[in-house]
Amino acid sequence: MEYNPTYNPYSLRGKVVLVTGASSGIGRATAIECSRLGATVVITARNENRLRETFDMLSGDSNQMILCNLADDEAINKLVEEVPHLDGLVNNAGYQEYLPVPFIKKDKLEAIMSVNTIAPIALLQKLLRAKKITKGASIVFTSSLAGLGINAPGNSMYAATKGAISAFVTGAAIDLAPKKIRVNAVCPGMVNTAIMDYGTVGEEELKADAANYPLGRYGEPEDIAYAIIYLLSDASSWVTATNLVIDGGVSAR
């Protein structure tokens, strides 16, 4: 077989993909890379200025930007009404908050569960009910190593939200398989943008922790985006109910 320079099983040309939490980090990188691979990208987040920055970085001229606070059920309903039919959904929006177990309060737990767990599940359910997910579509959730039980002090609330997501994708994949809709999650280790946002850990501590990773560094948003693209593309057409670990080898320690 001759070399074909245009051959690309990871191409997203002709696909429409919704990316939540697209104003920064993994969501921004995923939206940009999806557009570069030919997808029409619909991006959503709460912060209009940062979302606009992402939108201006996208390739192509058919992309769409929709503001949405996923903690608001009515906002999710409006988002579902506005989006076109989707070949891919990247449920990425979420946040992290460190609290040791003795200091967990009900309102804090409910808030993080609402955004990290309930909202992405509700969004998928509403999109399915509105028949906005096409047959053969791919759904990707952003989970975490913490959701698989590889945790750190003070991170139990976040781990609980992501553990629920990692378990949810396996059941959802079974439920949606008759429609050839695949459901998977990516489970990143530490990713640089997510760390720097907190400002609670010094540079030397970060360097020492990164040295625990066999590949010698934390991840970059693009590292996770490329894995998400694999799961969105036809190259992964026989992959569903999977929690894909992307962690520079740290979980092997």
Question: Model confidence over 21-58: pLDDT tens digits?
Answer: 999 999 999 999 999 999 999 999 999 999 999 999 99
Report whether pLDDT(223) > 80. yes
Q: For residues 188-192, give the mean pLDDT.
A: 94
d(CA 116, CA 124): 13
Higher pLDDT pick, 152 / 137: 137
Q: For residues 106-122, give the mean pLDDT.
A: 97
Check residue 2 and give its pLDDT. 86
Check residue 197 and give its pLDDT. 57
The DSSP line for 180-209 is T-EEEEEEE--BHHHHHTT--S-HHHHHHH
End-to-end, the C-alpha distance of the chain in Å comes to 42
Q: For residues 151-162, give the mean pLDDT.
A: 94
Number of separate helices (H) and strands (E) present in the chain: 9, 7
Check residue 203 and give its pLDDT. 80
Which of 10, 95, 98, 158 is labelled catalytic?
158
Give the global pTM: 0.95
Higher pLDDT pick, 1 / 200: 1
Q: Does residue 3 have an active-site annotation?
A: no
To the nearest whole percent, how much of the chain has pLDDT over 70?
97
Q: For residues 68-86, give the mean pLDDT.
A: 97
The DSSP line for 84-119 is --EEEEEE---------GGG--HHHHHHHHIIIIIH
Q: For residues 103-115, give the mean pLDDT.
A: 96
Confidence band of 201 (pLDDT split at 50, 70, 90): low
Check residue 195 and give its pLDDT. 53
Q: For residues 155-164, give the mean pLDDT.
A: 96
Check residue 204 and give its pLDDT. 85
To the nearest whole percent, how much of the chain has pLDDT over 90?
89
d(CA 87, CA 135): 8
Go through the domains of the chain in sequence order and give each one's CATH number. Answer: 16-252 (3.40.50.720)
Residue 78 near residue 28 (C-beta atoms within 8 A):
no
> Any idea what DSSP says for residue 219?
B
